[in-house]
Amino acid sequence: MNLVDAHTQRLAGILGLAPVLPVVVLRDAAQAVQAARALVAGGIPAIEVTLRTAAALDAVRAIAAEVEGAVVGVGTVLDPRQLDQALRAGARFAVSPGATPNLIAAARQHALPWLPGAATASECMALREQGYSLIKFFPAEAAGGVDALKSFAGPLPQLGFCATGGIGAGNAAGYLALPNVRAVGGSWLTPAAALEAGDFARIEALARAAACSRRVTPPADAPPPAPCRQAPSAPRSTSAQGSAPPGPAPDSSAG
């Protein structure tokens, strides 16, 4: 097995630990251990710490050293140097919002499993050519959301996705119901206000709710979805199958 395939297998295992991969922005490394413990206690072991703050690598180091049960990775990896820094800090995986030829070339030979990002069919195809079959779909909501991922499943059935960007408790279930979605990512489990206030009980509660969300695969004998959306003006006594109601979907924990 080549290195990219081996890494893809490891990433699949990591994304399989829980339905949600929290995207954590830590301004103070001192918050890291308690925040990570709260996530793990809530049933969310894999944690993506974004490299968007000066404290990020110290936070990764602290979580890797001190939080039993956590699988810490880094996010917002934009260049190969950050892969090296992340590995040295104890990260077990790395995530990027997109992919560049430079980063792909480095990641293909790097010891750290890498989840590259893509938002279009062409970007997914370019990654597939390089051996990547697990992709962060980002920015999920802005790039077409659930409908886009449903569309990718036809021509690109080999690809699995971690959908991230604009996802929260209200719409996670819609993504997790898709067969090509392995997990969703998002920052909603660690709100900045909760981190600043040291409200780790809130983070644990959010994690617990997220850990309970589950994939909903329709039964094989379920009727196919309606081929087109109903016009808004069409009088219907019940909501049409296949048409998304406006506003947030039911809480992910219900799914």
- Of 45 and 75, the one with the shorter C-beta distance to ligand 3PG is 75
Length of the chain: 255
Smallest gap from residue 185 Cβ to ligand 3PG (A): 5
117: β partners: 136
Structure tokens at 246: 């406006």
Judge whether 60 and 85 are in contact, CB under 8 Å: no
Integer CA distances (angstroms), 27 to 24, 49, 54, in order: 10, 11, 7
Residue 89 or 140 with smaller CB distance to ligand 3PG: 140
Whether residue 136 lies in the annotated active site: yes
What is the smallest separation between the CB atom of 96 and ligand 3PG, expressed in angstroms? Answer: 9
The residue (of 138 and 152) whose beta carbon lies closer to ligand 3PG is: 138
Here the tokens at position 169 are: 């408790």
Q: Minimum Å distance from CB 170 to ligand 3PG?
A: 12
Helices assigned H by DSSP within 28-144: 32-41, 56-66, 80-89, 101-107, 121-129
Dihedral pair phi/psi, residue 94, rounded to 5°: -135, 150
Q: Quote the least distance from Cβ 219 to ligand 3PG, whole Å.
A: 31
Please identify which of the residues 123, 136, 141, 150 carries the catalytic annotation.
136
In the complex, which residues of this chain contact ligand 3PG (CB under 6 A)?
A: 23, 50, 75-76, 97, 138, 164-167, 185-187
Among residues 242 and 255, whose Cβ is nearest to ligand 3PG? 255
Environment class of 149 (CB within 10 Å of its CB; exposed 0-12, middle 13-18, buried 19+): buried
Catalytic residue among 48, 68, 129, 141: 48
Shortest separation between residue 29's beta carbon and ligand 3PG, angstroms:
19
**For ligand 3PG, the closer CB: 3 or 98:** 98
Count of H helices and E strands in the chain?
10, 9
Check if 48 is active-site: yes
Residue with tokens 């009088």: 235
The residues assigned a catalytic role are: 48, 136
